[in-house]
Amino acid sequence: MFEFLKANLSDESLMLRYQQGDSAAFEKLYKRHKDPLFAYLYRSHVDLPVIEEVAQEAWMAVINAAERYRPTAKFKTYLYAIAHRKLVDYWRKNKIEYLLDRVDEKGESVVEKVPGPSKLTSATVDLSMDLLLALESLSKEQQQAFLLKEEGFTRQEIAVMTGSNEETIKSRIRYATGHLRRILEVQYAD
Amino acid sequence: MPTNQTPEDAELSRLLSQAEPPKSPEHLDEAILRYATENAPAADEAEEKTPWFPRPLTAAVATLSVAAVAVSISITSFNSGDLERGSSDFSTSQIASSDAFSPEALVLEEAVSGEDSAESETTSETTPETTRERQVAQNPANSPAPLGATVQLSRANDDIATPAPADDLREEDLREIAALGQALSTERNTSTQDAAPSSIQEEEQTSFAFSSAAQSSVAQELTTATAGQDENLGGRIEADSVLADDPALQSGVASSSPQLALRRAAPTEVRTSAIRLDSSAELVTNEDLPALLSLLEELFNSTFADGELQEEALEIETVSTEDERANQLQNRLTVISDEDELQQLNANYAELRENFADFALPATLEEAIRQLQRLVN
């Protein structure tokens, strides 16, 4: 009976329990979000060792900040915001091109101009994989806006997580969606 | 998920979900969970931070604590202050009730302040003489202090628990003193017409003096009203008393309040040097007065049976009232100057007195003459 109640606790309640020393609550919370977070990171950056490192840093940041945690927002938003920031930090630290405009003003893809693994493997994977490669052709800001939208966050939440305003997020999502659609249409049209 | 997705967006979402991403590696999970367990906030510290009462009740608990302390302090202050005030009220009320009698107030203060130790002495020494002597010794200038004796007696004996108010007591005393003073003044005026005042008058004045000097403040009134009119009497005021042997004054005392009666009775009990009259000094009652007059008339008639006194004796027979008879006897006595005649009268008085054995008459002719003079006056 108690396990049933514990299983239905919200993310915020579990985090508060862990804040009071309940390690089992954190384990429950971790199991609830580890795979979606890892998938989000993988879609953002296909290099698994890097994703593991970023994921580990994100979760450790949550653990270290557990005593200061206040349930002012959804835990998922809190977790993904930390993961997004760790990812961006990694990109900047490793001097990975963080272009704002990997799609031109007309929405046309410029992925051909950027060398990368997506171009090398785009012809050999299935459509889902092609989608992931197409995401790599997007700018990181457009990519993150689109992926966070697919994770269920609203434009407002995405704006808070990325430090942008809501209209900018809306534009980024629109450009990202148009770019991905064109890529997939060209590939399957061929 | 946004609700206003276009079909193209929905297709993109479906494609994205179909692209199965890799799951979180197990070693990563173990590392993160281990780190979470090791760095979990200490449960003991969290419990220690929890107060013994809910946080919302902090203000209420603080208010109640302050109120409890305030009530405790106020109760403590009230108890000590009430005790102090109660003791002072008792002392002042007792002193106020007797402030008109300053010597008594001193005695009372001493008795109240040393109640713990002295009360046992007072109660054990129930003999009024001891208490009275101690009071007189402590206040030699105000020797008569019967009210102090009264208060102490009332404390020792619960018969008289509440002394009468001072104002009522003084008015009552003053009325008695005024009446007695008026009577004394009349008697003194009469007696001063004689060369020497009779002993009876002196005794009465002395009795009155003592009864009025029973209280120091009342003594001042007496000095103004009566004693100051006669220097000889003033000297007698400071003498001792024969109050208990004076039936008239005793009756007056009996009609007074119990406090006054006790005040006046107590000094007579404690006086060690009181002058007491012998039995012959007792006044002749109204019942025995005719017998006394008859005895004296018969004495004169038998002693001076012949000569010119015979006619005067016969004249005495014709007088009807007792006052007239007494006056005539007084007149006849004043003309006797011969010592032999007086001795003869004295011897005949003793013989004739045996014929009046049923009456309480003076034992000697001298006492009989003294009482006759009193009747005339």
Which pLDDT tens digit goes with each residue over B121-172? Answer: 444 444 444 444 444 444 444 444 444 444 444 444 444 444 444 455 556 6
CA distance B301 to B75: 93
Is residue B174 over pLDDT 50? Answer: yes
pLDDT of residue B134: 47
CA distance A90 to A58: 12
**pLDDT (tens place) for every residue of chain A, 190 residues total:** 455 555 678 899 999 999 888 889 999 999 999 999 998 998 888 788 899 999 999 999 999 998 888 888 889 999 999 999 998 888 888 766 554 444 444 545 444 444 343 443 333 346 667 777 788 888 888 889 999 998 889 999 999 888 888 999 999 999 988 888 887 776 655 5
Q: Kindly state the average pLDDT of the residues B211-226.
A: 41
CA distance B281 to B26: 140
Task: For chain B, give the percent of residues with pLDDT over 70.
Answer: 36
* Residue located via tokens 């966050």: A153
- Residue of chain B whose alpha carbon sits nearest to that of A39: B21
* Candidates A34, A66, A150; nearest CB to B24: A34
Counting DSSP H helices and E strands in chain B, the numbers are 19, 0
pLDDT of residue B356: 83
Averaged confidence pLDDT in chain B: 60
- Residue of chain B whose alpha carbon sits nearest to that of A152: B1
Quote the minimal CA–CA distance from A115 to chain B in Å.
23
pLDDT of residue A98: 52
pLDDT category of residue B48 using cuts at 50, 70 and 90: low
CA distance B146 to B104: 8
How many other C-beta atoms can be found within 10 angstroms of the C-beta atom of residue A39? 21
Which among B372, B248, B247, B369 is positioned nearest to B322, based on CA atoms? Answer: B372
Is residue B117 over pLDDT 60? Answer: no
How do residues B345-358 score in pLDDT, each as one tens digit? 888 888 888 888 88
* Candidates A21, A34, A131; nearest CB to B15: A131
pLDDT of residue B205: 46
Is residue B250 over pLDDT 90? Answer: no
Quote the minimal CA–CA distance from A58 to chain B in Å.
10
Q: Kindly state the average pLDDT of the residues B328-337.
A: 74
In B238-338, which ranges are continuous DSSP H helix? 247-254, 258-270, 289-303, 309-318, 322-334
How many other C-beta atoms can be found within 10 angstroms of the C-beta atom of residue B352? 18
pLDDT of residue B34: 92
Amino acid in position B140: P
* Residue located via tokens 């202090």: B145
pLDDT of residue B255: 41
At A109, is the secondary structure helix, strand, or coil?
Answer: strand
Please give the residue that has the higher pLDDT: either A156 or B324: A156
Query: Which segments of chain B are extended strands (E)?
Result: none
pLDDT category of residue B35 using cuts at 50, 70 and 90: very high
C-alpha distances in Å from residue A171, one per residue of A143, A166, B9, B72, B148: 12, 9, 15, 72, 113
pLDDT of residue B5: 60
Give yes or no for a contact between A167 and A133, defined as CB atoms under 8 angstroms apart: no
**CB contacts, 8 Å: B24 with chain A:** 34-35, 37-38, 55
pLDDT of residue B156: 43
Q: At what angle do helices A48-64 and B26-38 cross, to 10 degrees?
A: 20
- Percent helix, strand, coil in chain A (nearest 5)? 75, 0, 25
pLDDT of residue B181: 60
pTM of this structure: 0.39
Per the DSSP assignment, residues forming a β-bridge with A103 are A109
Give yes or no for a contact between A150 and A142, defined as CB atoms under 8 angstroms apart: no
* Residue located via tokens 């009342």: B218
ipTM: 0.77
Q: At what angle do helices A127-137 and A23-44 cross, to 10 degrees?
A: 80
Contact: A30, B33; criterion CB under 8 Å:
yes
Amino acid in position B265: A
**CB contacts, 8 Å: A183 with chain B:** none
CA distance A141 to A103: 11
Contact: A30, B25; criterion CB under 8 Å:
no
Is residue B18 over pLDDT 80? Answer: no
Chosen for mutation from A14, A20, A26 (greatest number of chain B CBs closer than 10 Å) is A20
Give yes or no for a contact between B157 and B91, defined as CB atoms under 8 angstroms apart: no
C-alpha distances in Å from residue A70, one per residue of A17, A66, B17, B312: 12, 9, 32, 141
Is residue B362 over pLDDT 50? Answer: yes
CA distance B46 to B204: 102
pLDDT of residue A135: 84
